[in-house]
A and B are shown apart, each in its own frame.
Chain A
Amino acid sequence: DIVMTQSPSSLAMSVGQKVTMSCKSSQSLLNSSNQKNYLAWYQQKPGQSPKLLVYFASTRESGVPDRFIGSGSGTDFTLTISSVQAEDLADYFCQQHYSTPPWTFGGGTKLEIK
């Protein structure tokens, strides 16, 4: 199975600050036939189910604010929140959806707002 490792496990930021979090995979998620990275990011607010933010590493899901930016390729990926808002308090998970299942998730990054 592909192992997904997220860091940091938690972070606390003030409103308006830039937030970056990392996700690394144990093997490349780049599909050479279409040059797409099969990496998704989800946001899970307290008491809610996960919500898709980004797929193919950098394609923002419809309706997701443009302050959420996914980047990276191969085995190293980043989710950036350009100017964090109070409502961004949540856990953030990456997930590889590359090729044949099992699809696997990272352990998550908990974002707290100071």
Chain B
Amino acid sequence: DVQLQESGPGLVKPSQSLSLTCTVTGYSITSDYAWNWIRQFPGNKLEWMGYISYSGSTSYNPSLKSRISITRDTSKNQFFLQLNSVTTEDTATYYCARAYYGKGYAMDYWGQGTSVTVSS
């Protein structure tokens, strides 16, 4: 079965970079699908941040475009989120998720999420 697991620091200082890892088991990230990062703010609003496709191409939310980078390590079947120059507004639960073009890129598998607090 496909599983996604987020990991990374739970506390980041303002102006620093936030770095998270999504480890995928049960499916190769180079075989198909788009591999996404989504965040959920306190109060429950969801924001799609971006994806890296099975081919390595990326797409980002324009609201984040100057600060975000999504990369991958195919040997470890992992993909990564880096968000630069964070502020308290970036405090959220961060999820990684798989999106399938056959379902119109709806997200059919999600990680359990990791909470990140931006605070000095």
Contacts and interface: CB of A to CB of B under 8 A. Distances in A.
A49 B22 CA distance: 14
Nearest to B100: A55
Contacts, number: 67
A84 to B, nearest CB: 20
Nearest to B110: A49
Binding site secondary structure of chain B: strand
Interface residues of A, number: 26
Given A49-B112, A50-B46, A36 B61 contact: no
Interface of A: 36, 38, 40, 42, 48-52, 55-56, 59, 61, 91, 93, 95, 97-98, 100-105, 107-108
Interface of B: 44-48, 50-51, 59-63, 95, 99, 103-108, 110-113
Which 10 pairs from chain A and chain B are nearest by CB?
Answer: A55-B106, A40-B106, A105-B46, A49-B110, A102-B61, A55-B103, A97-B105, A103-B48, A38-B104, A52-B108
